[in-house]
Each structure stands twice: as structure tokens, then as C-alpha cells.
Chains A and B, each alone.
Chain A
Amino acid sequence: MFNFKQLASHAYRQYELVTCINMLEPWERKLINGFFLIMMTLVIFSSFVYLPNYLQTLMQFVTPLAGHNSGENVAYVAQKMARS
């Protein structure tokens, strides 16, 4: 537990230094922290909601013959990509 706390505080200090948060005024800190939080949320949200679909389509595109419908041609994949 103690170790984790130390690790977390160290990570936060590194983040503070990289984003220059340690030399900002409180409202600026909130702004920058908020900005990074929103960006992170968006990235995580989109990677959960959209990424699996994208990856699936991409996999089909990259390996067209290994897909479940072996008789299909490449044009079908392109159509599917356009739809999704």
C-alpha cells in the first residue's frame, strides 16, 4: 500500500513537471488538469466503444482470405468498410 502511494505520488510529480503544473496558478492548474482529463476520457471511451469494431474490420481487410466467408472477394470488404 505504502509502495503504491509512493509510486503514485512519484508519477504525479513527473506529470506535474512535464506539464509545468507545479509553477501554475490554481485556476490554470484546473484548466490544464481538466484538459488532460477530458482528453484521456475521450481516448479511453473511444477505444472501448469504437476500437474493437475498427480492429475487426481492419483484420478482415488485412487478411481477406482467413475470414469466415472464404468465398468473398475483396470488394465486399471495401463495401463493409465504407458502411461501418
Chain B
Amino acid sequence: MSKILMKGNEAIAEAAIRSGCRLYFAYPITPQSELIEYMARMMPKVNGTFLQAESEVSAINMVYGAAGCGKRVMTSSSSPGISLKAEGLSYLAGAQLPCVIVNVQRGGPGLGDIQPAQGDYFQATKGGGHGDYRLICLAPSSVQEFADMASEAFDLADKYRNPVMILADGMLGQMMEPVEFKPALTDEEIEELGEQHTDWCIHPNQDGDLKHHHEINSLEIDPLVLEQHVINLYKKYAEIEENEQRHEEYNISDDNEILCVAWGTASRVVKSAINELKAEGKSIGMIRPINVWPYPYEAIAKAIGPNVKQVYVFELNTGQMLDDVKIAVEGKVPVKFWGKVGGIVFTPAEIKEKLEECFKE
């Protein structure tokens, strides 16, 4: 299949449909409006459900109902809307329901603005809703990767019975890049995917023979039962941490004097700065976490070569991933941070200047 020039918001919507998503519930918000509009146009063409909910709260609870029936279901929003979904995310995680949530981040806090930002890292990776749970969280850095993550997210959600968030931003949502799609799943393949959940999901009993009573539920009023439930969730999260750490290595070598860590849109700018410094004969590498939960702590620790004298974290926030990098580095070398906020994206020249100061020290 040839490449198509597409906005990230549309590419993720198309990729989700190709991945077997036939149910989508959402509420309009900038800068993800093209996503909901694409779904409104395309879902009827594949006999899918598009429903514009009365609120983000309702949308995520519609996801809860559809996911409880074992079907591939998605919702999307931008930062303030994700806050409204936080209640539902906690219930989805507690009831262990597979689903995909797309966050096209914008500037915050509060209503903030509608420009790209990475201020929802804490919310996405450390909770957001109440209680002891984790979201699997994928962070794309290109339109192609954004689209590829649709099927990855649904597969992970199904495999672990856990909600999966794709943490993009207004830049990735709004910009156009060439994208190549995987072949669409057939209706039969989608049907088969649903069958993997029949041992727990809501579905009819057959022929008057009451075979099952399934409960889609996050309530365990007996503390001893809840304790065991949370321990079981914790075991599942440990398994996810073991299996699903993903990162990209860029220009990593034993010669590196500086190790950069950046994710999503920010990592693209850092790459440009690294290329310019490399052309000037400087040795500098970057680790880009692709999954921000589980976090690639080991990859960062391993990338600290013998000559690294500084780890530098760049984000479009005030330093939210910084804490995770510090955990990975374990104090072995100093960790610096520089970021931009308010929906303003730093330039390669600005990053280069920061890194050059480091080389001088």
C-alpha cells in the first residue's frame, strides 16, 4: 500500500478502524477534533458505532459498557477531557476491561491553551484516577508511529485486559506526514478477536441453558477480597513491566559524552540538535521512551556509557518524566532538565545551545 499524507488525528482514527475498532464514543475538544470527525464519517461505512456523547464522563462510561462486552472500543480527547475521564479510567482498570484512550495533549493546567504540550505525563503514567492502578501508555513521535500504535494498543489491551492510553500531543494530532497503513482486519478476524473474552465478558446465554453469570465490576466490599484483587493487579502490572518496556536508541555509543532523554514531539527536536552537534564532531546520544509506562529504566541505565558526564532531559513541561530518568540513573551522573511550557515547542537551536553549554562545562 502506498503512503498517504494525513493528519495524525485522522491517521490514528483510520488505523483504529483497521485494527477492528467498531465502537467509538467521544466528545469534541481541540486539538483532537479531526479524530472525532473522521470517526463520524467513517464508522457508518464499516457498520460501526460512532456516538457523540453528552460529556467526556459519559463517553468513557460508554467505553466501559462496550468493553464489558469484549469488543474493541476507543475514545479520544485532549487534556481537560482526559481529566473528566479519570473516574472511568479507574473503574476500567479495576474491572480489567480492555480499551484504548487517545490523549492529544494541549497546554494546561485548567483550560490552558490548545497548543502542543506534554503536561499530562504524570496523569497518564502515575494514575490520574483514584486507587492503585496502571495504564499501559504509548507515546508516539510521528504520524506513522501514532497510526502504528492503534493495533499495538488494542493488542496490549486484549492481552492484559487493561486500558491502554496513546499519549500524543497537539503537534502530532495536527501535523500532516506520509503514513502507510497495515491491512484492515476482516469482519471474521474481528469476530475472532472478540471470542478471546467470552470467559468473562457480557454475552448471551445459549438455548435456554444458563451457562454463565459474568459480573463487570470493580467493587469488592470485603477487604480481604479487595486485597487479593489489588495483589493480582499488581502481579499483572509486574508482568507488563517485565515484557513491555520499549524505547528507541539514537546515536548511542561508548563515546557519548552526553545522554539525552526525551519522548514524543520533544524527542524530534532533540534529534535535530543531536544531528547538528554530531556534524561538528560531538558525541551525544538519546534514549526515547516509546512506552512511557512501563518505563524503560534499564535501557537508560545501560545507555550511560563510560564517558557520559551529563544526562539531559528535555520535555514540553516543567520536568515530569525527569523523576523517572533520575530513578533510572540512580545518581551515577548528574541529571539536568530543560523544558518549555504554555504550548510552546522548543527549537533545535535552543536545544543545541543548552547542550553546547554542557560540553563547555
Is this pair of chains taken from one and the same complex? no
Residues of A within 8 A of B (CB): none
Residues of B within 8 A of A (CB): none
